[in-house]
Structure 1
């Protein structure tokens, strides 16, 4: 049995993209974020859109893959209990300790509160109240900001675990085999159809909120991709097909992205244009994900030296990174270093601070569970690895 290094690598790279995206959010013009740079640039909107249409979808698909690996050898209740502990404890800790500085800086920057982090923390601990729009989530008194992924993943994990008797029934297995058996044009097109169905039925009524409650469209999309990941697992035939389609999928994604960006030139108030734009985005989303999975399987499925470190570090980096970015902005902005030097220093400071803080977390037994890691420093070695059968002669064709 060989470890699926490509899935480990894609997970680390996907979360790395999240960090890059959040650094760029400080500089992209006309997009809401907690703080905005005086050097905000409109040209950033195009690459940010290209990334934004699939970045979190990839994360949820990989999360579904990971659940399939973790599920092996565990009962339903044990699996749900372990995942709840690994997701909800870091969420609670993050909302209490990591996230508040983000809310504080946003509220100070927009004039909702007076400076004074100590006074803010006392008020935050009691749930406010806050002036309207003081910070993202201020209507609820507290906020999870970038940690919204954790409750969403916990919800999808819980739903899938509860549905396991249905998914593992004869009908459920037939559906899984049908999806895993898609090949050629069918694999390029059919998985996008449910995403398009959600856009036609839910998207007009449920704009993204990230508040868990009113996010019907995003829940449908993210859970569908989460289920796709759980279905494909380490199915050798599916991954070989994805690898063979890596060039067609990449070409289709680039064409669809070009069409999408071109359609954005039309007046946004036209409902028909908005709906077509959304459907093109769904097709781009799926072909883009398929291209990433296919190319990743071909190019990344090897024992990279950095993978053991990345497997344990990616969760703490995720929890820490946005607050680290905000702290770095808070320190760098008064220096007025300009639109070239400042972004470079911001990225460097974010990377160095996340690396240093994660090194402390990994070596401190009581901190590890607060950042989603198993208790002992060597506990990662005991996790069920993502494994793949030894290559058959058919796999050589996709290399």
Structure 2
């Protein structure tokens, strides 16, 4: 018999807020590294591209967006306790779709322009590029920029429509999740303890991988991204189930050292098998190691986060409100920084250091100096108006967690 979950009091989950902020800091570093990693397609590529970056990038890439979607599911688990279907759809729709629309119309176009110029398929001159891009009536050469075949792209903002889709699926089926059958599923997941919590959640991920991965490679185009949908929605659902249940969070914290050690063993075995493979690695052993590593890494991060980060850090309120605008802005600022620094030929150490610094400085200046100061701008970057914010900070958990590469996948998950 599985005990009913014990709910946390109505206060912010500081560990979720902190993990959200730290995960996004990792995204900035990851996207800067995408410019420098050899043989992985991205909008622009550095002449200093390095092959050694592939392995640390791959080790991170196997779990980073899964962690993002799980934390977003946790957020929805809190929010859905006090809202019905249509209230959730209205609030989440405005919170996610307004920044997407603004980003596609104002923030992302420079990325497409810079990529098109670098590819030699777009004439220099952003003033001439922008009206044609926004009109979507004059098609671009297919290889001009990521998403050129659609005329307009969302690039790194792909996370927002994916998150809204998963949120809508949960919201439209709320009666199912609140039914006895739905509550049994939630209790069954949250009742996992010991080895079961460390291994069983990886099984659905392994099944989806074996069934879908080779037939539907990642695209980030929403419509035919069936494999990524199966993985991302599954971990999103895990987060939704976990929500405010204290038992499963305590167990993750208790098992944090074990899950970290098992994750290290899984990724070490994965690397050894991949390095020894003749041609692209495939098969059940590789898929099993990937999905085990994915879940164990996420479990370790959640466990350590719950153990060490669940406190009101002085920087947390600022970071929690800054994450969303930084997410919307950061990749365009990276591209602009590349355009500024690349002609200076500063080398493979100073240039990336300055690129990270410029990106962070630009995000901070635009967010704290402009976006957070004007109520009419705040909703366009996913922020609540100032007057509505104070009460929300007392009772709401973390907001959905933004990030990630462009329209297309930078590299297979293996």
TM-score bin (small chain): over 0.9
Paired residue secondary structure (1:264): helix
Call closer, same or farther: CA 1:41–1:270 in 2, change over 3 Å. Answer: closer
The TM-score, its normalising length taken from structure 1, stands at 0.94
1:324 to 333, 341, 348: 333
Distance 1:380 1:88 in 2: 23
> Of residues 325, 335, 344 in structure 1, which corresponds to 2:344?
335
Q: Distance in 2 between matches of 1:354 and 1:58?
A: 23
Structure 1: how far apart are the matches of 2:295 and 2:353?
32
Q: Closer, same or farther in 2 for the Cα pair 1:83/1:380, shift >3 Å?
A: farther
Post-superposition offset of 1:56: 0.5
Q: Which residue of 2 aligns with 1:386?
A: 397
After superposition, the Cα gap between the structure-2 partners of 1:334 and 1:270, relative to the gap in structure 1 and judged at 3 Å, is: closer
Residue ranges of structure 2 left out of the alignment (5+ in a row): 1-8, 399-414
User: 207-216 or 67-76: which moved more?
Assistant: 67-76
Following TM superposition, the consecutive aligned residue runs of length 4 or more in structure 1 with deviations greater than 6 angstroms are none
Match for 2:78 among 69, 72, 77?
69
CA 1:168–1:188 in structure 2 vs 1: closer, same or farther (change >3 Å)?
A: same
8 Å Cα contact 2:77/2:242 also seen in 1: no
Q: Match for residue 266 of structure 1? A: 276
| 1:230 matches 2:240 | yes
**Secondary structure in 2 matching 1:338:** coil
User: Of the two structures, which has the highest relative contact order with CA contacts closer than 8 Å and spacing of 6 or more?
Assistant: 2
The two structures have a TM-score, normalised by structure 2, of: 0.91
Tell me, in whole angstroms, the C-alpha distance in 1 between the residues paired with 2:205 and 2:264: 19
Q: CA deviation at 1:381?
A: 4.4
Q: Deviations over 1:317-355 (max 9, x none)?
A: 000000010000000000111111101100110111100
- How many pairs were matched up? 386
SS of the equivalent of 1:339 reads: coil
Q: How far apart are 1:249 and its partner, in Å?
A: 0.2
Distance 1:118 1:91 in 2: 22
CA deviation string 1:225-274 (max 9, x = no partner): 00000101121111111011101100000011111111211346467x35
1:1-399 aligned within 5 A: 1=9, 2-127=11-136, 128-267=138-277, 269=279, 273-359=282-368, 360-376=370-386, 379=389, 381-383=391-393, 384-386=395-397
The whole-number CA distance in structure 2 between the counterparts of 1:153 and 1:102 is 22
The Cα of 1:382 is off from its aligned counterpart by 2.3
Q: Aligned-pair RMSD on alpha carbons? A: 1.4
1-side partners of 2:207 and 2:296: how far apart? Answer: 16
Cα distance change of structure 1 residues 268 and 205 upon mapping to structure 2, 3 Å threshold = farther
- Asked if structure 2 preserves the Cα contact closer than 8 Å seen for 1:146 and 1:322, the reply is yes
Partner deviation per Cα, 1:276-300 (whole Å, 9 max, x = no partner)? 3232111100000000000000110
Distance in 1, Cα, partners of 2:209 & 2:149: 28
Kept after mapping to 1: 8 A contact 2:44/2:118: yes
Measured in 1, the distance between the counterparts of 2:173 and 2:271 equals: 38
